[in-house]
Amino acid sequence: MASECKSIQMILVESAGMPTQLTATQRRHLTTCDGCAEVQERELLLAGLFTAATPKDDPVLQQRIIGSLPRRRLTTKLISLLPVVGSGLVGAAGAVLVGDLPGSSLLSLVPGVAGSGWSAVWHTFTDWGIVLLTSAQAVGGQLPTSTTILAGITTGIGGLALVALVNNLRSRVLWCRDS
Amino acid sequence: MSEPEHLFSDEALVSLSLEGDQEAFTCLVRRYQRRLTGFLSQLVGDLELARELTQEAFLRAWTALERYDPHYRFSTWLFRIAHNLGIDQLRRRKLTTVSLYRTDNNGEGMELDLRDDGKDPFGHLENKELGEGLRRAIEELRPEYRELVLLRHFAALSYQEIAELKEMPLGTVKNKLFRAHSVLRKGLEPFLVRCEP
């Protein structure tokens, strides 16, 4: 088969016989080549056969499918946000507890919450908060302020980066499993 | 979701579904059910089984939606799930594609094995001879061509989507489908006749 004929016939097979993807030169060729014209005619008819052979929409099946879907659980999504929230709280706690930092004055602007009141909340709710509070105060008293700020920011950014990396790797691994 | 569903891309519907909009996933079901059932019915040779597998494929897609990677087309992901389900089913039941035609011990005589219309993938066709002709023509294809034909004509995937799904170069898909069509045109010649007015 001439290479020009094969190129045209490959396009006709892909387009189900429709000449829309042919160039003007290729369309002229169709009018002069019986072989290609026959392929076009047959591909049009073949496409019709396949269309007729494909089952139609099945509304009953669609309803059955929709009715069988379990409710999407939101708890999974909330749990996945915990590391991000936790990292943010660690960074915020560091800024608040060290003392004369912009963070503490910002937090004190939160309606009804003052720096000491925030510390009381931590004490009340988690032992972890107590340990962190004590440690942060001790560290804050020993290290330069700039170092403490840098540590707090690094903790926050590191936590966010870790969450993003884990999510990225998780989706890639499970995508491969689906295949 | 108040706008007409055809305005939403698959990826947009997936995002909405993940936010809890089940109506968005319903749109995806309506969009792909016919193609999934058509593809699976040809793959497993049983329409009723194909319906069950279609339901299972959508259920798996729904529960695994968080794992869908938008770098890939949703159609590719969905049909990959369906394809794996179909292949698993074939392996489990050790089904083989059974020819419609039987011959006697002398190799002569043809006996038509008329299948239950409810299970026959071509049972909905009024022209039974056409159904038989299509089934025979598809069965006679080489397995690698047959699968591509099913993906192209019953799953209605584009060449690019098929290449992604099969992890095959686009040029290879084009060449194989070109050869498959050459065989199909010969095998279906009696049916490829334009009716004269």
ipTM for the complex shown: 0.79
d(CA A2, CA B181): 18
d(CA B58, CA A41): 37
Please give the average per-residue pLDDT across A24-51, as a whole number.
Answer: 92
User: Nearest CA to A64 among B54, B49, B21?
Assistant: B54
Q: With CB atoms and an 8 Å threshold, state whether B80 touches A178.
A: yes
> Which residue, among A50, A68, A167, would best test binding to B if mutated, counting the most B CBs under 10 Å from its CB?
A50
A75-78 contact pairs (CB < 8 A, 24+):
A76/B66
pLDDT score of A173 more than 50 = no
Q: List CB contacts (< 8 A) between B46 and chain A.
A: none
Q: Give A89's pLDDT tier (boundaries 50, 70, 90).
A: confident
**Residues 32-51 of chain A whose Cβ lies under 8 A from any Cβ of chain B:** 39, 41-43, 45-46, 49-50
Chain B interface includes A1 (CB < 8 A):
no
Q: Which two tokens stand for residue A138?
A: 């001790």
Q: What is the pLDDT of residue A155?
A: 85
Question: Phi, psi (5° rounding) for residue B112?
Answer: -90, 125
In this structure, the number of other CB atoms found within 10 A of the CB of residue B144 comes to 13
Chain B interface includes A61 (CB < 8 A):
yes
Q: List CB contacts (< 8 A) between A40 and chain B.
A: none
Closest-approach residue (CA) in chain B for A52: B125
- Cβ-count burial of A131 within 10 angstroms (0-12 exposed, 13-18 middle, 19+ buried)? exposed
CB pairs < 8 Å spanning A and B: 122
Structure-model confidence comparison of residues B51 and A117, the more confident one = B51
Shortest Cα–Cα distance, A35 to chain B (Å)? 12
pLDDT in tens, B118-158: 677 777 777 778 888 888 899 899 988 999 999 999 999 99
Q: What is this structure's pTM?
A: 0.65
Residues B74 and B10 sit within 8 Å (Cβ to Cβ)? yes
